[in-house]
Every structure is written in C-alpha cells, then in structure tokens.
Amino acid sequence: MLAFALTLLLLLGIVIVLAYAERKVAAFMQDRMGPTEAGPYGSLQSVLDVVKLLQKEDIVPAAADKKLFKLAPILIFAAVFAGFAVIPFTPDLIPAGIGIGVFYLLAIISLDVVGLLMAGWGSNNKYAMLGAMRSVAQIVSYEIPAGLAILSVVMVCQSLDFQEISYQQGILLNRFPGLEFETNWLFGIEALGINTTNIGGITTWNIFRAPILLVAFVIYFIASLAESNRAPFDIPEAESELVAGFHVEYSGFRFAILFLAEYSMMVLVSLVAVILFLGSWNTPLPNLTALKFANWTTGTVGELSGILWGGFWLLSKTFVLLFLQLQIRWTYPRLRVDQLMHLCWKVLTPIALGIVLLAGIWRLLMV
C-alpha cells in the first residue's frame, strides 16, 4: 500500500511538472513567454489548472450511456497506472517485483483500448466515437512494432524481469554471457582485452551491448508516441476535426482523470524505454582507470545511496525522453490516417520483424 501511495504521489508530481514544461517548451519554440503570472515564472499554473478542473461542474450528457460514460475514465487511468507496478525505480525499490514484468505490462496497458471505446460509445456523440475508433485503431496497430522492439530486448537479455534487465546494464551485476565480446566488437578494442562489465556506465547499456537494439529503440520510441496519442500521431484528438476526440463530452474531475492518464502514459512509455534500452537506473558514467565514476555514482545496494543515485539517473533519463516528446509535438505536423497506417504496417513492422530475427542470431552467436 505504501508503494502504491508513493508511486501515485511521484506520478502526480511528474505530471504537474510535465504539464508546465510543455507550455514553456511550446512557448520557447513559438517565440512566446508561456505562463508568467501564476507563481514565479508561471510555475504554479499547472497546480491552479488542477484546482480549476476540480471545481468545474461534472456534466453527464442526457443521452449518454451513464454507466459506460462514468466508468471509462477510471478504467483508462487504472490500466495505465497498473503498469507502474513492475517498474524498478532503484536497485531496491520496485512496487511489485515479478519475473514476468514485461509480459504483465504489455497485457495490462492493452486494457486502455477498452476504456477508450467505452468513453467514445458512452458519450453518444459522433465526434467522440470517431475519436475513440481512431485511437483504438492506432493503438492496436502500433502495439505490434512496439511489442516486437521489446521482444528483441527480451531475446538478447533472456529475461522478462525489468529488474534483471536493469542489473544486466550496469556494474552491480552483469550476467549476460558474451558481453565483453559484443561491446569490444562495437568499439573496436578487442585487442586490448577490456572487460566492460567492470567499466560500467554507458558501455553496458543495451543499445551499445547489442547495436541492433539501437534501431529497436528508435522503433519503440516512435510507436510509443502513437501509443500515447502524441503529435504527430494525435489524430484521435485532432481539435481541427473532432473538437477534442473521445473525451469531448467530459468535464471537471473526469476530464482531469483522462488528462492525467494521457500524461501518465507518456511517463510510463519513457520509463520502459529507459529501462530496456538506456541503462535503467544505472549511471551513464564509466570507470576510467583510477577515476571510478561508475562506482562513485551508483551507490550501494540496500543503502540510501543506492536509492538516491538510482532514482536520480532513472528520472533524469526519463525527463530527457519526455522533453524530446514535447519537442516533437511542436515540430512536426499531424499525420493523415493513411500516412499513419502506412508508417506502422509498411515501415516499422517489417523493420521490427527483421530486428527480432537479428536479435535471435545475435544471441546465438554471443553465447
């Protein structure tokens, strides 16, 4: 219960910061000021937005299916929030350390689709229904390349446990056979006989251990934008066509829940990307001869230093990916639905299938 409460508080804090950051990033890229009045540099704007939403009237359309309409936001947020249960925040802190965390995550967040359909259908509004159908088609489609990219990591690491995958990418515990050959081959230092298990840092991240996973990371990141309904994949919420998409009829607290779910999904997919590809809670700094940067910035398992360093590195990498998502939103125009599906089925999925095949071959050769 304590882990649940701490995770929820951490998520709420990140979402509030992210909402503020999005406004400031958008303003910077459009040569504007952004929020300036509420608090220093407008830093309290997101907090006041939450207060405003909580005070708004909760309106349920008279023609709506009231049970579906009221249940949909809860189901959408619950499906996303349940995914955080298997995320290892530090070497010692994980809400639910189960051995099939990757499989659980893929299964639980797929329930999000059911909630979106319920919101669209229950609203009894054609724009909401169109937005829901677009969203479901998009999410179901992009789950395939995203899942294949994740599968390639699972094949290389030989584990479905997020925590074990995290340990494999650092100096605390690296149990992957053949790591030295893979990393040495990548950096061309095989003649030196350097064991990167003891070097740690960025040299033991999955995208460097197995270079094919760098392509898998790019595929996953693009698919995660579609999973989160973020631009340029935001046709389910296309305000120029559908007013607001599947949540057009929602107001007050229920709209706040949908807003929280969308930003929570952004955080979740970024956390998964960091854990699977970018070293998880491990430090990016390697040990260099007498300068043991990796040892100094990793901490000790079971002690406060390990929790603080692990949490710092995980959240730092996550915020970098979140900032990249914000930049992409205000850089690229929205895709048409045919362009969106072409990218998924004719570009990303074939490449992802090829990466899975190469990951299998890589694993066989490296054992």
pLDDT tens per residue across span 168-190: 888 875 433 444 434 433 443 33
As a whole number of angstroms, the distance between CA 286 and CA 171 comes to 9
Total residues belonging to the chain: 367
Count the neighbouring beta carbons within 10 Å of the beta carbon of residue 58: 12
The predicted pLDDT at position 340 comes to 92
Asked if residue 335 and residue 233 are part of one domain, the reply reads: yes
Give 186-245 pLDDT, tens digit per residue.
Answer: 443 333 445 666 788 898 899 988 889 999 999 999 999 999 988 888 887 776 666 677
**How much is the pLDDT for 275?**
96
Domain that holds residue 17: 1-52
Same domain for 166 and 236: yes
Q: Total domain count for the chain?
A: 2
Collapsing DSSP to helix, strand or coil, 1 comes out as coil
**Residues 74, 46 share a domain:** no
* Predicted local confidence at residue 164, as pLDDT: 92
Same domain, 61 and 18: no
| 8 A C-beta contact, residue 281 and residue 189 | no
Residue where a domain terminates, one of 52, 71, 86: 52
- For residue 124, the SS3 value is coil
Instruction: Report CA-CA distances (Å) from 7 to 106, 195, 333.
Output: 19, 37, 34
Is the Cα torsion angle 351, 334, 328, 162 positive or negative in sign? negative
Judgement on whether residues 29 and 127 belong to the same structural domain of the protein: no
| Cα→Cα distances 187→168, 184, 208, 241, 350, Å | 19, 5, 9, 50, 28
Which helix (H) or strand (E) is 7 found in, with range? helix 2-29
pTM equals: 0.91
- Give the span between the Cα atoms of 71 and 223, in whole angstroms: 27
Joined together, the tokens standing for residue 87 give 């995320």
pLDDT score recorded for residue 1: 67
Smallest CA-to-CA distance from 162 within 51, 45, 281 is with 281
How many CA atoms within 13 Å lie on the side-chain side of 9?
A: 6
* Average pLDDT value for the chain: 87
Are 129 and 24 contained in the same domain? no
What's the pLDDT score for residue 176? 39
Residues 210 and 303 in one domain: yes
What pLDDT was estimated at residue 240? 65
* 188 lies in the same domain as 273: yes
DSSP string covering 81-104: HHGGGG--SSSS--S---TTHHHH
167 and 275 part of one domain: yes
Cα gap 132→113, rounded to integer Å: 9
d(CA 350, CA 311) in angstroms, rounded, equals 36
- Residue 287: strand pairing partners: 292
Contact status, residue 153 vs residue 165, Cβ threshold 8 Å: yes
Q: Tell me, yes or no, whether 70 and 3 share the same domain.
A: no
Q: What pLDDT shows up at residue 196? A: 65
> Which residues of the chain fall short of a pLDDT of 70?
1, 173-197, 239-243, 367
Q: Do 44 and 165 sit in the same domain of this protein? A: no
Alpha helices in 160-303 (DSSP H): 162-167, 179-187, 196-199, 206-209, 212-227, 239-242, 252-277, 293-296
Please indicate, yes or no, whether residues 127 and 143 belong to a single structural domain of this protein. Answer: yes
